[in-house]
Amino acid sequence: MTAFDRRTFLTAGLAGPALLSAFDQALLGPAIAQEAPKRGGTLVYAQLSANRRSSDARSAKHPYFIVDANTRLQWNCLTWVNEKLEWEYELASKIEPTDAKMNVWDVTVREGVLFHDGRELTARDVVASFEYHRKNAPFAGQIISIEALDKLRARFTLDTGNSEFPYILAEYNSVIMPAAPIDTIGFDGIGTGPFRIVSTDPNRSLIMERFDRYWRQGFPFLDRVECHNREGQQEAALNGLRAGQFDVVFSIDPRAVRQLGDDPAYDVATAKGGYHFVIQLPKHPGSPFLDKRVRQAFAYAIDREAIVRIAYGGRFGWVGNDSHLVVTDPNFVARPKGRDVAKAKALLAEAGYPNGITLPTLYFSPQLPEVPVYFQVLQQSVKDAGITMAIEERPNDGYIQFRTGNNDLAQGNFHKFAMTAVGSRNPGISLFRMRGGNVESGHWRGPEHDRYMALYSKAMVTAGAPERKAIYAEMQAILHEEVPAILPAGGDNFLVKRKAVRNLKFHPQIWSVRLDETWKA
């Protein structure tokens, strides 16, 4: 490294403390220290928040379409985001920008890592994987080019500087696959992860077995893992847990936590600040959301505390701030003012709706068990300000296409007034999601959008975390005023497991859960 040396990189906030300890010093936790892990056995789990992308017989083994978006079982990425949302090395052994501009990054991969078919991981596989990702994954679109420097080193060139680029390399759509042509790469399901795919039933189930040549020697402990999609079927999944069909149920809601939390047969694991819901406000010609005052009135009218109280039982949820940041992020800035029905009515009157407004139908899908209650509370609360709207539940299958449609403003095709779930990420990714080109912002545009994106660009070439935090606060202030989208409230992540399941940690990012160190007594 030149002007931006290694010490600066480690101390400027570009990497969490976890980077300073090698990934090989694995998290074994106190439970394993007290009780020797047991090898063997099958773990069967039900997932209540499965992959949103539908698959077919051809795509069911592809990391983008596999039934559970948790791709850390079959594949690895160059980095991993731990439970504290700090990044660590995974397949990479070294990552650094070439200079202070931070738009060119060199990555060195571990030597001796094998794919499930016995091939050795090289920089060629990294190049081929990201040639696919940069064309198909939104966060990887910033990569202009990638080249192999030698057997183990690859160079990424970005369209602009990104001080948080290592987080991009940890995304579930950033897994490393064996090199293959871009139209076939990934469809064989081969990765470097602790488990290899044995069989799939598209959108329903997945069976995996231990990969004995896994690069983390001695892991995993389990022989076999089975995943079953039970999205929208919490009661059926919990009945399966009670009957011994499942060992674990992922993504249960607070109601289930209250039911099972004191049951001696089970353990409930919590990951704080896990997810929330973005309500995209379409700003196409003729939409009421073109008027900022209508968006502001909507934001003031929502009783966010009631959502937390009713949908999350109070202590299991949190009030959002209309940005993609979760409340546990140290960069999170609360909205300066809470619910204000009088202010909402005054804004609607200024916008030409003195007698209230009827909004289009708000669509949602049961991506998590509490979603229907969440939106019923929201619908009722805004009535106090004279805002009327129908809400309609749509099936999970095909919901992404329904929500976004053939979205092309130039052709007069617009996305729906609809919700989607979003998870916890680093601020660089989270705040980038409000860019005008993304449907989650409703195609926000104008001078304040441009100022927001200029601040984002500044943050991405700012090395120091305190300096970036100040920029992120200014960006959130713009969102509070402009309200390009609504993110009213969110919840913590929960899983429930049988007592025999040991050392299974849940994660704020449900797609980043590892089963390497999990075992059954």
Residues 216 and 156 grouped into a single domain: yes
pLDDT at 306: 98
Report in angstroms the alpha-carbon separations of 194 from 49, 107, 208, 519.
22, 22, 9, 13
Asked if the structure places residue 43 within a domain, the reply is yes
SS3 state at 197: strand
User: Rounded CA gap, 334 and 319, in Å?
Assistant: 8
CA-based nearest residue to 121, from 147, 92, 96, 146: 92
* Residues contacting residue 438 through CB under 8 Å, at least 6 positions apart: 138
User: Amino acid letter at 507?
Assistant: H
User: Mean pLDDT per segment of 10 residues, for the chain of length 521 residues?
Assistant: 36 39 37 76 93 83 89 96 93 96 97 98 98 93 97 97 96 96 97 97 94 97 96 93 97 88 91 93 94 98 97 92 96 96 98 98 92 97 98 91 80 86 93 93 96 96 94 98 98 95 92 95 95
SS3 state at 91: coil
**CA-based torsion, 194, 196, 200, 203: positive or negative:** positive
pLDDT at 388: 98
Asked if the structure places residue 247 within a domain, the reply is no
State the first-to-last Cα distance of the chain, in angstroms, to the nearest integer: 48
CB 143 within 8 A of CB 174: no
Query: Structure tokens of 477?
Result: 């202030």
User: Rounded CA gap, 1 and 381, in Å?
Assistant: 55
User: Amino acid letter at 176?
Assistant: I
In sequence order, what are the beta bridge partners of 89? 79
User: Rounded CA gap, 456 and 474, in Å?
Assistant: 10
pLDDT at 259: 85
Query: Structure tokens of 141?
Result: 């679109």
Query: Structure tokens of 231?
Result: 């999205």
SS3 state at 298: helix
Residues 168 and 91 grouped into a single domain: yes
pLDDT at 5: 37
The number of beta carbons lying within 10 Å of the beta carbon of residue 224 is 15
Per the rule left: phi > 0, alpha: psi between -120 and 50, beta: everything else, 386 is left
* Pairing mode, strands 42-47 and 224-229: parallel
Asked if the structure places residue 291 within a domain, the reply is yes
Residues 367 and 471 grouped into a single domain: yes
Asked if the structure places residue 378 within a domain, the reply is yes
Query: Structure tokens of 360?
Result: 């289009």
CATH number at residue 485: 3.10.105.10
Asked if the structure places residue 23 within a domain, the reply is yes
DSSP state of 110: P
Asked if the structure places residue 79 within a domain, the reply is yes
User: Rounded CA gap, 89 and 71, in Å?
Assistant: 16
Query: Structure tokens of 324?
Result: 């993609």
pLDDT at 314: 87
The number of beta carbons lying within 10 Å of the beta carbon of residue 5 is 11
Residues 354 and 380 grouped into a single domain: yes
User: Rounded CA gap, 405 and 423, in Å?
Assistant: 22
Domain total in the chain: 2
pLDDT at 425: 93
Residues 93 and 175 grouped into a single domain: yes
User: Rounded CA gap, 13 and 16, in Å?
Assistant: 7
Residues 161 and 218 grouped into a single domain: yes
**CA-based torsion, 330, 336, 342, 343: positive or negative:** negative
Residues 27 and 172 grouped into a single domain: yes
DSSP state of 397: T
Residues 508 and 451 grouped into a single domain: no
Residues 438 and 507 grouped into a single domain: no
Q: Give the domain range for residue 396.
A: 273-491
Residues 314 and 202 grouped into a single domain: no
CA-based nearest residue to 84, from 319, 343, 272: 272
CATH number at residue 505: 3.40.190.10
User: Amino acid letter at 375?
Assistant: F
Is this model's pTM higher than 0.85 or not?
A: no
Asked if the structure places residue 238 within a domain, the reply is no
Query: Structure tokens of 170?
Result: 């940890």
* Residues contacting residue 13 through CB under 8 Å, at least 6 positions apart: 463, 464, 465, 466, 468
pLDDT at 412: 72
CB 158 within 8 A of CB 428: no
Residues 190 and 331 grouped into a single domain: no
User: Which spans in 361-496 are helix H?
Assistant: 371-382, 399-404, 427-432, 447-460, 465-482
Residues 107 and 160 grouped into a single domain: yes
Asked if the structure places residue 309 within a domain, the reply is yes
Report in angstroms the alpha-carbon separations of 256 from 107, 239, 251, 260.
43, 11, 10, 6
Query: Structure tokens of 468?
Result: 């970036």
CA-based nearest residue to 109, from 130, 135, 133: 130
